[in-house]
Amino acid sequence: MVFVGSYDNNLYGIDAVNGEFRWKYPTEGGIVTKPFVADDLVFAGSEDGYLYAVSAKSGRLSWSHQVEKPIRSSPRVVDGHVYFGADDGYLHSINIISTRREFRFDAGVAVRSSPAMSNEFIYFGNEEGDFFCIDYHGQMKWRFRAKKGITSTPLVTAGVVYFTSLDASLYALDAKSGWVLWRFRMLKGSVSTPHRVENMIFVGSADGYIYCLDANTAKEIWKFETGHQVSGSPVVNNDIVYCGSADGKMYALDIKTGRVRWKFITGGPITSTPVVANNTLYFGSTDHMVYALMV
């Protein structure tokens, strides 16, 4: 099954093999976040201010939790708890068995960055540029301040946390201390989530480029120009980098050189992040279509 949220206010369950419609669950607001699947439930936040837990098989509502403002942060489930940010300025933790709130961490302003978890810590940013590391009890360990808002989902790997900011920077911080290891300047801000493979970091930017950097030094290895904003995140499979652009194209790039292997044209800007499973590339476009390509 493929699960997709839409601006038409619906959460969809689609057959991954043939693309047939299985079910949809209606909400009262747009679903701009990526659903998360755990324990046979699909978790998705909506701009109507509710987090929904829906049966992956039937699409029936299991439970929901309301916050005060729209949810534009993708949920993450770890150890029986679902974590998500909201425009009410909090990162929320909900027990998925009791459906009760465990804690909410006051981030000051809207949290549209989706949380990342590593070694019992939670990493996320807010719309004023604060980047937080907190524990699973909601206690802050450290905070870093970027110059502008952080909407991207952090990547935590090998003791380093990577994230982009609207200040046109890709940051690499020590995950334990928050100390800055390096900063890479792009031409415009970014909401793209970094992706790491071996010693390479891949990221998109509003400047229209897809970048490949050395993960240790931030040295640019290559960059590919799409000509339009890249708000989705690159993914890598079998030495091919897949990433969509606001020009309506899904690009397949050589991992070493950044040269185009092929491109697929849709009828609208691609703002989503693709997913590869079972030799199939899945992604959505603003032309109201979900695509599945053999790769």
Strand ranges of the sheet holding 235-237, from the earlier edge strand across to the other edge: 235-237, 240-244, 249-254, 260-265
* Shared domain check, 105 and 3: yes
Whole-number pLDDT of residue 189: 97
Q: For position 98, which CATH number holds?
A: 2.40.128.630
> Does some domain include residue 272?
yes
Same domain, 200 and 108: no
The answer on 197 and 105 residing in a single domain is no
Give 2-55 as a DSSP string: EEEE-TTSEEEEE-TTT--EEEEEE-SS---S--EEETTEEEEE-TTSEEEEEE
pLDDT tens string 175-196:
999 999 999 999 999 999 999 9
Asked, for residue 156, whether it belongs to a domain, the answer is no
26: containing domain: 1-112
Is residue 119 one of the residues assigned to a domain?
A: no
Rounded distance, CA 187 to CA 185, Å? 7
> Is residue 152, in this structure, part of any structural domain at all?
no
Q: Give domain status of residue 24, yes or no.
A: yes
Residues 104 and 199 both lie in one domain: no
> Domain boundary residue among 78, 96, 112?
112
Residue 87, pLDDT score: 99
pLDDT of residue 171: 99
Distance from the Cα of residue 286 to its chain's centroid:
17
Question: In angstroms, how far is CA 226 from the centroid of its own chain?
Answer: 20
- Say if residue 203 is in the same domain as residue 292: yes
Which of 59, 80, 112 is where one domain is finished? 112
Q: How many domains does the chain have?
A: 2
Q: Answer yes or no: is 91 within a domain.
A: yes
pLDDT along the chain (295 residues), means of 10: 95 95 97 94 98 98 98 97 98 97 98 96 98 98 98 96 98 98 98 96 98 97 97 96 98 98 98 94 95 96
Domain boundary among 112, 136, 163: 112
Task: Give me the pLDDT at residue 237, please.
Answer: 96
Q: Is residue 160 part of a domain?
A: no
> Structure pTM?
0.95
Same domain, 105 and 201: no
Bridge-partner residues for 131, per DSSP? 125, 144
Residue 239 lies in a domain: yes
- Do residues 35 and 13 make contact, with C-beta atoms less than 8 angstroms apart? no
